[in-house]
């Protein structure tokens, strides 16, 4: 048997054994009933929850989910605290309920930007928010915090207008029973356009209020007594949202068939889907992503407007599940399962050691040849690089096999006494591992951004930074020196990707509030320099970082024969400096007309 066959056998043996045991131990699970309360009537605004139910994601997680649309005169926060439902879609105004004593926890932010706005008909006495002083405004109680904040900034306090409970019927605005009506820009404006009615919108963002839109919350009791269920429900919901945005036509088919009591036309659902996707920003951040820094900014805005007490702390409201994988394994996996896990780890360790011996042997051989033939120096460097990549890829494959084995091991929890939540928890872990694979694959295989071809490097970077700044609320100082015109395609792509990967590392690891980025084209030295620094927590350079992000940056620099340096100390941020050869595209020769 050759080495390739031996490696394959090592990989397949533990996985095959685990899969065989899994088939023997699998038993059906009973679904737990839970209720999700929406903040509005059924429409594309809640498409991800519909698809999580229709595609079986909730069922696979052991949940039987009932989705309720909003009915008139419903106090949704009160119903959550009373146990009428387990989960609620609401908005950042929940902070005011929490300050008033409501025991709520925030699970995820669906919309990164809020689609909520105030709508009025076109009329001569209303041109700006301040003109609503003394007017009637229909808003949903507990879900209009964005509008309250914008009104306050415009000088219209809570006692300066007549607050009416939103009837959910846009005809109240059309027929003059209210002067202003809270709407979603992804929905009601389209209805008036179809009727040929002229309207005007007042967006909170125009007054500096850029909050999260729809957020998923639950009660403190749910988190304390059903933590696994809360996390499972959240993960299945986010998976449903990803599916809905990736399959809009199919999702609209489902809504038309099962979730359309308003009889919304397909064209309106498509309009709403387009608007919703633009505010969810799933191509920029993971669906459900929340930034503690941004939540703190939202709370500070409320505090400055007198809508929250000065000492209000938002951190305790954001739910962060405690890691429970190892505890679950220790409590529920049989001794045979633990033995198989150890066998998998042992095989992986032996394989790593074999790879190290192979690399050592090949490297020693190349070093010996270098002493007798200088022409082999470049080959030695290239081969060493190839071997490092070979190790990286092999370890990646083996790690994937191990994660698969762990996923299968946890599924064997199904063989324990009471199935219920144990089976649901095991299914959730398997789904999470699959999602991790898909997420890593998606990030590592992204294609070259079109904006580099259409707008150039600087405009492309500025657009990317603007989106990143909106999501993270982290400030960026961006400056350039020298001409960035006509850079080579390889140089443009490398610089863009390095900045993109560096900002991703800042968002994930740095806990920074400020990032500085400088690019300089130096004609005298024919170099282009890139410097990126942040004021985050930094790290100990003696513990060399080995993440995929920094490895990718380093390999991009070396591929262009550039120089790379990284400096950091704990508590003093990170500084990345890169120098690359300045290469520009050659201009085509001037066109000449031949003489007759």
453-490 pLDDT, tens digit per residue, is 667 888 889 888 888 888 888 999 999 999 888 888 88
Residue 550: pLDDT over 50 = yes
Tell me how far CA of residue 458 lies from CA of 220, 449, 475, 544, in angstroms.
47, 13, 18, 31
Specify the range with the lowest mean pLDDT, choosing from 64-73, 334-343, 514-523: 334-343
Task: Quote the percentage of the chain above a pLDDT of 90.
Answer: 37
Burial class of residue 185, CB neighbours in 10 A (0-12, 13-18, 19+): middle
Q: How far apart are CA 319 and CA 505, in angstroms?
A: 23
Q: What is the Cα–Cα distance from 280 to 274, expressed in whole angstroms?
A: 10
Which pair of structure tokens corresponds to residue 347? 């095989």
pLDDT at residue 579 above 90?
A: yes
Whole-prediction pTM value? 0.50
C-alpha span between 430 and 415 (Å, rounded) = 16
Can you give the pLDDT at residue 420?
Answer: 63
The kind and range of the H/E element at 498 are: helix 489-505
Share of the chain above pLDDT 70, in %: 74
Length of the chain: 596
Determine contact, residues 137/162, Cβ cutoff 8 Å: yes
CB-CB neighbours of 525 under 10 Å: 11
Question: Residue 40: what pLDDT?
Answer: 85
Q: Which class for 40: exposed (0-12), middle (13-18), buried (19 or more C-beta within 10 A)?
A: middle
Confidence at 432, pLDDT banded by 50, 70, 90: low
Q: In this predicted model, what pLDDT tens digit does every residue of 322-346 receive, in sequence order?
A: 655 544 554 556 667 777 778 888 8
372 confidence band (pLDDT: 50, 70, 90): very low
What are the tokens at 345?
A: 């780890």
Lowest mean pLDDT, pick from 7-16, 92-101, 287-296: 7-16
Q: Is the pLDDT of residue 440 over 70?
A: no
pLDDT value for 403: 59
Rounded to whole angstroms, how far apart are CA atoms 579 and 577? 7
Confidence of residue 350 (pLDDT cuts 50, 70, 90): confident
Mean pLDDT for the chain overall:
80
Question: How many of the other CB atoms lie within 10 Å of CB of 425?
Answer: 22
Specify whether the CB–CB gap between 137 and 172 falls below 8 A.
Answer: no
pLDDT digits (tens, 9 = 90+) for 28-44: 457 899 999 998 889 99
Decide if pLDDT at 9 tops 60: no
Give per-residue pLDDT as tens, 182-221.
988 888 888 898 889 999 999 988 888 888 989 999 999 9
* 595 pLDDT above the threshold of 60: no
């Amino acid at each position: 048997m050759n080495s390739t066959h031996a490696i394959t056998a090592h990989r397949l043996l533990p996985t095959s054994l685990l899969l065989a045991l899994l088939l023997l131990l699998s038993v059906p699970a009973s679904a737990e009933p839970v209720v999700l309360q929406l903040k509005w009537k059924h429409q594309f605004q809640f498409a991800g929850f519909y698809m999580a139910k229709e595609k079986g994601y909730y069922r696979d997680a052991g949940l039987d989910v009932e989705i309720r649309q909003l009915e008139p005169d419903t106090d949704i926060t009160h119903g959550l605290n009373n146990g009428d439902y387990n989960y609620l879609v609401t908005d950042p105004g929940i902070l005011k309920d929490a300050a008033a004593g409501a025991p709520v926890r925030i699970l995820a932010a669906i919309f990164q930007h809020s689609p909520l706005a105030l709508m009025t008909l076109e009329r001569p006495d209303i041109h700006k928010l301040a003109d609503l002083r003394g007017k009637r405004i229909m808003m949903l109680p507990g879900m209009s915090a964005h509008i309250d904040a914008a009104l306050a900034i415009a000088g219209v306090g809570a006692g300066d207008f007549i607050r009416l409970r939103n009837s959910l019927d846009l005809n109240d605005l059309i027929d003059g029973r209210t002067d202003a009506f809270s709407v979603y820009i992804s929905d009601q404006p389209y209805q008036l356009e179809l009727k040929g009615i002229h309207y005007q919108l007042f967006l909170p963002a125009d007054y500096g209020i850029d909050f999260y839109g729809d957020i998923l919350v639950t009660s403190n009791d749910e988190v304390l007594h059903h933590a696994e269920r809360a996390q499972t429900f959240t993960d299945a919901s986010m998976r449903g949202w990803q599916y809905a945005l990736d399959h809009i036509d199919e999702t609209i088919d489902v809504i038309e068939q099962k979730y359309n009591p308003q009889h919304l036309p397909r064209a309106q659902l498509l309009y709403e889907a387009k608007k919703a996707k633009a505010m969810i920003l799933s191509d920029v951040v993971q669906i459900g992503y929340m930034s503690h820094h941004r939540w703190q900014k939202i709370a500070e805005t409320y505090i400055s407007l007198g809508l929250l007490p000065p000492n209000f702390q938002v951190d305790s409201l954001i739910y962060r599940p405690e890691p429970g994988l190892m505890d679950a394994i220790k409590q529920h996996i049989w001794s045979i399962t633990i033995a198989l896990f150890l066998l998998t780890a042992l095989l992986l360790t032996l394989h790593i050691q074999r790879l190290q011996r192979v690399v050592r042997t090949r490297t020693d051989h190349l070093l010996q040849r270098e002493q007798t033939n200088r022409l082999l120096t470049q080959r030695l460097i290239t081969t060493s690089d190839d071997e490092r990549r070979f190790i990286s890829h092999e370890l990646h494959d083996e790690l994937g096999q191990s994660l698969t084995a762990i996923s299968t091991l946890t599924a064997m929890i199904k063989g324990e006494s009471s199935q219920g939540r144990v089976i649901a928890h095991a299914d959730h872990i398997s789904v999470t591992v699959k999602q991790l694979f898909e997420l890593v694959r998606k990030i590592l295989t992204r294609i070259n951004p079109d904006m580099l071809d259409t707008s150039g490097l600087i405009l492309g970077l500025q657009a990317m930074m603007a989106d990143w700044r909106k999501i993270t609320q982290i400030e960026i100082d961006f400056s350039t020196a020298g001409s960035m015109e006509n850079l080579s395609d390889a140089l443009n792509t490398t610089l863009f990707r390095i900045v993109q990967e560096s900002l991703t590392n800042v968002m994930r690891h740095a806990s920074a509030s400020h990032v500085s980025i400088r690019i300089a084209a130096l004609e005298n030295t024919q170099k282009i320099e890139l410097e990126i620094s942040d004021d985050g927590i930094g790290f100990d350079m003696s513990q060399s970082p080995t993440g995929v992000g920094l490895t990718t940056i380093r390999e991009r620099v070396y591929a262009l024969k550039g120089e790379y340096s990284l400096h950091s100390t704990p508590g003093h941020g990170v500084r990345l400096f890169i120098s690359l050869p300045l290469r520009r595209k050659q201009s085509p020769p001037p066109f000449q007309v031949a003489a007759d």
